[in-house]
């Protein structure tokens, strides 16, 4: 059974950094693209970043480009999102999402999410 468990969300000050993790079970990260999608309190869904199944291609929303980095450790089957220069508007639940293909395609399975709060 596919499971995605996010961790690392917490309260952080503006300008700070944070690394989110997503432990995946039931499939191999090497076979599927993976994504991070966020949802600000009371707002809609916003795609943040994706990494291909090979790990050779990464994609970012304009709102986080240059500040966020996506990576993975296939030996641990874990996905990461390194967030720097955090802003108040980055406050959201961050979902780890398995893709339906090896390259960005559609959002097949979702984790429960981890809450990131950026506030002074």
Q: 46 vs 84, which CB is nearer to another protein? A: 46
44 counts as binding another protein under rule CB under 8 A: yes
Q: Are 60 and 103 in contact (CB under 8 A)?
A: no
Cβ atoms within 10 Å of 33's Cβ, excluding its own: 25
Task: Please state the closest distance from residue 120 (CB atom) to another protein, in A.
Answer: 26
Stretch that binds another protein, among 21-29, 37-45, 70-78, 83-91 (CB under 8 A): 37-45
User: Which of 12, 18, 34, 50 touches another protein by CB under 8 A?
Assistant: 50
Stretch that binds another protein, among 13-21, 22-30, 43-51, 77-85 (CB under 8 A): 43-51
Stretch that binds another protein, among 9-17, 18-26, 42-50, 83-91 (CB under 8 A): 42-50
- Contact letters (x/-) for another protein, 80-99, by CB under 8 A? ---------------x----
Task: Please state the closest distance from residue 75 (CB atom) to another protein, in A.
Answer: 27
Q: How many residues bind another protein (CB under 8 A)?
A: 23
In whole angstroms, what is the distance from residue 105 CA to residue 101 CA? 6
**Unique residue bearing structure tokens 């955090």:** 86
Q: Are 2 and 99 in contact (CB under 8 A)?
A: no
């Amino acid at each position: 059974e596919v499971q995605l468990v996010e961790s690392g969300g917490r309260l952080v000050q503006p300008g700070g950094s944070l690394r989110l993790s997503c432990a995946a079970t039931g499939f191999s990260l090497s076979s599927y693209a993976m994504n991070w999608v966020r949802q600000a309190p009371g707002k809609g869904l916003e795609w943040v970043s994706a990494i291909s199944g090979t790990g050779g291609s990464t994609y970012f929303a304009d709102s986080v480009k240059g500040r966020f980095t996506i990576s993975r450790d296939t030996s641990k089957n874990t996905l990461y999102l390194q967030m720097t220069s955090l802003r108040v508007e980055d406050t959201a639940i961050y979902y780890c999402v398995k893709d339906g293909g090896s390259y960005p395609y559609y959002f097949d399975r979702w984790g429960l999410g981890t809450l990131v709060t950026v506030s002074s």
